[in-house]
Structure 1
Amino acid sequence: MAGVTRRRVLGSAAVGAAALAGPRPARAADRPNIVFIMADDLGYADVACYGRPDLATPHIDRIAARGVRFTQAYANSAVCSATRTALITGRYQYRLPVGLEEPVTTRFTGGLPADHPTLPGLLRQAGYRTALVGKWHLGSVQDYGPLQRGYDAFWGFRGGTIDYFSHRGTDDKPDLWDGDVRIEEVGYATHLLGKRAVETIAASAKAGRPFFLSLHFNAPHWPWETPDDEAESRRIAGSNLRHFDGGTQATYRRIVAEMDAQIGRVLDALEASGIAEDTIVVFTSDNGGERFSDTWPFTGRKTELLEGGLRIPAIVSWPRRLKAGQVSQQPMITMDWLPTLLAAAGTAPDPACPSDGIDLLPILTGQAPERPRTFHWRYRANAQEAMRDGDLKYLKIRGETFLFDVVADPLERANLKARRPEEFARLQSAWAAWSATMLPERADSFSETYTGGQLADHFGAGTPRPGEGPR
């Protein structure tokens, strides 16, 4: 996979800077609908179009065939709610207390501040109907719910996961909601979310104004249950949904396939409503893969700042504006979606809370060249630090430090810090300067990790510190 280096773009930097100032505002009649689909814990290579030979995902592949597939996409965090904080605010999650939770657990009583602008809220101000179907995970208390943070409608679950059949959360309490009302439904969660999304599209298409639909699946997050595994749901009822004694590769593939089928229903609904041409469809994941995921050609997984914990599939289609079948090597990150989608809708981030991401539309439409980027991460468990600058990456885990060329060495095997000490020192110093501009880490925040007793390939992992560990 070729990299985007500073040398390759130096000659066109002036052109890129002008184009990246953003497209002209769209006329009201040109505003696209937006369907933002987020999988949960899906690994980089868990989709056929990213190289998974044993897993058919024809409908996700359909989005890629119609649009742009990113090969250097990153999550803002190695866990879910922190990335979702960055998605909805367009900013580094470390700017907000909720973003310091890795992830938010049922004991956390806070959430997104009421006065902070959000992607759905800004789109609603621009005249969009907004709806969330699926996972929220940015505050379980009603005052911090999706209806209080920019969505007109919500149908889904507030916590980090639910059982696919009982719809109970990690605290063993029912967690399925229609707005602010707890409900009971019979059915496999992935199917129910797909059904509700199709209904939302049909209703929104008749409303006469653009809509923004967030479809945030539980799949393929644990518990490891396919539509044929209701017995497994009963077996683990009342116990830890993480069930380290459950799941298989075949189960995982089936969970992904069921999600892909529901995405197919959503795409078909857009076609049936006659709005597919004018609808932006995004597909991505919230972090790197979990224990059954395929993160090749990377190492690491969820909760780790190795590439496998951060690299994610990211695909966007917009038939009216974007050329079909593109593969982009442009490095991007979750928080880029807010300025990009707002620009497509003819609006912009709130100046009081400027985005830490960039508007990718000029690059996606060919008005600007690809360019190098700089990204930063922290993760409290195992004292992790990371920064990517161009093709180089600074990494620190449990006191050990590294410098990698993640384009030439995506497996992160060749530690270059002794061979390139000046560049290592530069990145380490730059990371520290950036971190000083964020909220400090809190000892009382939660930070998820794994031990050797849970995952055999983590045999060297030590005992978690207070506030670290499994949910």
Structure 2
Amino acid sequence: MKKTNVAPPHYKRSIAEMHRWSACRPNEAEIEYRDRPFRPISQPGATMSRRPCAFFLFVLLVGLTGPLAATAARPNIVFIYTDDQAPRAVAAAGDKRFITPHIDKIFHQGAHLTNAFVTTPVCSPSRLGLISSRYGSELGVTDWISPRAEKSLGLAEGTATWPRLLAQAGYRTALCGKWHLGTRDRYHPTRFGYHEFMGIRTGGCPPKGARLEMLDGTVRKVEGYTCDVFTDHALDFIRRQHSQSQVFAVSLHFRAPHAAWLPVRPEDWAPFKDLDPEIPKTAYDDIDVPRVKKWTREYLAAVKSVDRNVGRVLDLLDQLKLAETTIVIFTSDHGYNLGDHGVWYKGNAHWVRKPLPPRQWKHIAPLRRPNMWDTSLKVPCAIRWPGVIKPGTKIPQTVSNLDWFPTLLAMAKVELPKSVTLRGRDFTPLLKGRDVPWNNDLYAEYSMHHGATTHMRVWRTPGWKYMRDFANPGREELYDLAKDPNETRNLASSTRPEHLQIKKQLGQRILGRMTELKDPALPGR
């Protein structure tokens, strides 16, 4: 039977209600964020229907050289962003435990960026880096934002973002899914360039029957699986823009595979419910194996639910004949440890050893293992850009979440204002196969304050990685990535001259970058 992208029966009513609500502008005193700081994009379809002759005369006169032609020549953008996805948690990225045929298609039909990283391995500061190309320490967001304890915290008002610049250049923009950059109205996604938002402002929600914010700002419980619901809205947005010949950029931010992983649809759970999964081998013989295997089964199912919905997006682009004019991006907000190193979760990982190891650092509880391993910093990443990227391309150069801002502008042919400060680089030359000079070093940071206190700063080269924790004197890690890519042997206490020299060099680079960024964690500040 041929696949369709028809919304599930339980959801048809919510789509209809969404349009009815969006037709009525809510009271601005009640929903202040609806007063958006950019002009609405005109509807070219309506103009054509009223004055077709005048329109075609205009096209002939300007010779397709005006703004309309420039907009028409720009690609649509679908940015698919998952939450807590391990760097190899895609079959095409190397882990065959995962069933991801649709995500694999993006990897095979485009470019696989094999060294894609984030600069902070936890939700909020990583998302801040994605949208603003700035480090979290620069804008005061260094750990995940707690909706209860940090109600006044969010993305600084006035921060330059790529959705805003795309909107100003003629794109219609939407965010469907997770935001996690502030819950108050002044931090609303529509304040930062998205014309439409539906989803969650906070960091999490149930995988089924979640309370979600609709297009008009009201919040209500929506029956159905959250992955499906977010995708339903993204598909509806794409259909509406296509019907109006409107160039668009839609961000589909899944909250999966973030815990809790279950429930998922029966077809997503079926391959794994009786599986005895393989788990990573570690140096520890006290791993809580039953717990790790249970969580692994559930995590595998959550990733499959994401993949099924990615398939729905790709199918719709094919049906609407948009695939050739649409850039599709797949990546995640940070990596994840699935028992690797004896831990679970990301940069704020928990031990899965039983019993827990003894406490070693004053500001770090025994359960916690704050880290900056590649398993936490690295993300799966692929880009399909028909006519530009050759299918099957692999890009080994180091890129980071800070690079998306300038890269997306370049893809969309939008000029960056000179007044905007960015920390990232445009990597479109790499996508186009050009041989350009490229610095493969990475600087990363994580000042953790939920569950532990750290000021971890990292400098990573292709051959070495050095981590220093400024909140816990003496806590440092040095890895020889060329000989030990899995970071199993910490050489920080080594007295070998070559180790002391590389630690000194990378330590100086860390201090130099902290000085440049005016990092509050810099000693003496």
TM-score, L = length of structure 1? 0.78
Q: Which SS does the other structure have where 1:372 is aligned? A: coil
CA distance in 1, matches of 2:345, 2:245: 46
CA shift, 1:288, in A, is 1.2
User: For residue 510 of structure 2, what is the aligned residue in structure 1?
Assistant: 431
Q: Which SS does the other structure have where 1:436 is aligned? A: helix
Larger Rg: 2
Q: Which SS does the other structure have where 2:517 is aligned? A: coil
User: For residue 382 of structure 2, what is the aligned residue in structure 1?
Assistant: 315
CA shift, 1:374, in A, is 2.5
**Number of matched residues?**
396
Contact 2:133 2:402 (C-alpha < 8 Å) held by counterparts: yes
Q: Deviations over 1:212-244 (max 9, x none)?
A: 100000100011312269xxxxxxxxxxxxxx9
Amino acid at match of 1:101: D
Please, which of 87, 109, 112 is the counterpart of residue 155 of structure 2? 112
CA shift, 1:95, in A, is 1.4
CA shift, 1:122, in A, is 0.7
In structure 2, the CA distance between the partners of 1:255 and 1:70, relative to structure 1 (3 Å rule), is same
User: For residue 420 of structure 2, what is the aligned residue in structure 1?
Assistant: 353
User: For residue 464 of structure 2, what is the aligned residue in structure 1?
Assistant: 392
User: For residue 201 of structure 1, what is the aligned residue in structure 2?
Assistant: 238
CA shift, 1:30, in A, is 2.2
User: For residue 142 of structure 2, what is the aligned residue in structure 1?
Assistant: 100
Please, which of 98, 121, 133 is the counterpart of residue 78 of structure 1? 121
User: For residue 169 of structure 2, what is the aligned residue in structure 1?
Assistant: 126
In structure 2, the CA distance between the partners of 1:408 and 1:212, relative to structure 1 (3 Å rule), is farther
In structure 2, the CA distance between the partners of 1:49 and 1:75, relative to structure 1 (3 Å rule), is same
CA distance in 2, matches of 1:246, 1:107: 33
User: For residue 187 of structure 1, what is the aligned residue in structure 2?
Assistant: 224
Please, which of 32, 35, 40 is the counterpart of residue 83 of structure 2? 40
CA distance in 2, matches of 1:295, 1:105: 30
Amino acid at match of 1:281: V
- More RCO (CA 8 Å, sep 6+): 1
CA distance in 1, matches of 2:476, 2:341: 22
CA shift, 1:401, in A, is 2.4
CA distance in 2, matches of 1:248, 1:390: 32
Amino acid at match of 2:478: L
Please, which of 134, 141, 158 is the counterpart of residue 184 of structure 2? 141
In structure 2, the CA distance between the partners of 1:28 and 1:228, relative to structure 1 (3 Å rule), is closer
Amino acid at match of 2:379: I
Pairing 1:30-429 to 2, within 5 Å after superposition: 30-97=73-140, 99-108=141-150, 109-167=152-210, 174-227=211-264, 248-290=295-337, 292=338, 301-303=346-348, 304-369=371-436, 371-381=438-448, 382-397=454-469, 398=472, 399-414=474-489, 415=491, 418=496, 419-429=498-508
Contact 2:481 2:487 (C-alpha < 8 Å) held by counterparts: yes
Amino acid at match of 1:78: P
CA distance in 1, matches of 2:341, 2:408: 27
Q: Which SS does the other structure have where 2:197 is aligned? A: strand
In structure 2, the CA distance between the partners of 1:163 and 1:83, relative to structure 1 (3 Å rule), is same
Contact 1:33 1:211 (C-alpha < 8 Å) held by counterparts: yes
In structure 2, the CA distance between the partners of 1:46 and 1:246, relative to structure 1 (3 Å rule), is closer
Contact 2:123 2:143 (C-alpha < 8 Å) held by counterparts: no
Q: Which SS does the other structure have where 1:420 is aligned? A: helix
| Alpha-carbon RMSD | 2.7
Amino acid at match of 1:413: T
CA shift, 1:51, in A, is 1.2
CA distance in 2, matches of 1:280, 1:228: 28
Runs (4 or more) in structure 1 with deviation over 6 Å come to 293-296
CA shift, 1:392, in A, is 2.2
CA shift, 1:385, in A, is 1.8
Q: Deviations over 1:405-431 (max 9, x none)?
A: 324421123427633322221110110
Q: Which SS does the other structure have where 2:173 is aligned? A: strand
Q: Deviations over 1:250-299 (max 9, x none)?
A: 22111110110000000111111111111111101111115x47799x99
Contact 1:142 1:180 (C-alpha < 8 Å) held by counterparts: no
TM-score, L = length of structure 2? 0.70
Percentage of identical aligned residues:
32
Contact 2:406 2:426 (C-alpha < 8 Å) held by counterparts: yes
CA shift, 1:343, in A, is 0.5
User: For residue 468 of structure 1, what is the aligned residue in structure 2?
Assistant: none
Contact 1:46 1:295 (C-alpha < 8 Å) held by counterparts: no
CA distance in 1, matches of 2:339, 2:326: 30
CA shift, 1:373, in A, is 2.3
Contact 2:143 2:447 (C-alpha < 8 Å) held by counterparts: no
Consecutive unaligned residues of structure 2, counting only runs of 5 or more, are 1-66, 267-290, 349-370, 449-453
CA distance in 2, matches of 1:301, 1:136: 18
User: For residue 453 of structure 1, what is the aligned residue in structure 2?
Assistant: none
Please, which of 50, 72, 82 is the counterpart of residue 29 of structure 1? 72
User: For residue 280 of structure 2, what is the aligned residue in structure 1?
Assistant: none
Contact 1:76 1:333 (C-alpha < 8 Å) held by counterparts: yes
CA shift, 1:441, in A, is 4.2
